């Protein structure tokens, strides 16, 4: 399926848009890594029920993934 992704690096910043092929639609709270050193958290998911060239629209904001890993795992194991 095709997913239109909207990424931004600040809570009130501009969005960067891309369309990707995926086997499932990400859920709110999940993490996306469109590039090797940037990780975004999904903040909103829109399931598209009208005729469009994509199946869902996902909005995600940049996070400090090293901080997330340290809090969840006790260490940084990915990136950095």
The mean of the pLDDT values for the chain is 94
**Given this model, what pLDDT does residue 66 score?**
93
- Residues with Cβ < 8 Å from 13, sequence gap 6 or more? none
**Other C-beta atoms within 10 Å of 38: how many?**
14
Tell me: pLDDT of 33 over 90.
yes
Q: 3 exposed, middle or buried (CB, 10 Å; 0-12, 13-18, 19+)?
A: buried
Average pLDDT over residues 73-77: 94
> What predicted TM-score, i.e. pTM, was given to this entire model?
0.89
How would you list the strands of the sheet with 38-47, edge to edge?
16-21, 2-8, 56-62, 38-47, 31-35
Question: Distance between CA atoms of 45 and 18, rounded to whole angstroms?
Answer: 15
């Amino acid at each position: 399926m095709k997913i239109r992704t909207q990424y931004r690096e600040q809570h009130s910043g501009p969005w960067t848009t891309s369309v990707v092929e995926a086997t499932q639609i990400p859920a709110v709270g999940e993490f996306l890594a469109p590039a090797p050193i940037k990780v975004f958290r999904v903040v909103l998911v829109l399931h598209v029920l009208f005729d469009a060239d994509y199946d869902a629209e996902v909005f995600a904001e940049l996070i400090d993934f090293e901080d997330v890993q340290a809090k969840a795992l006790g260490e940084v194991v990915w990136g950095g």
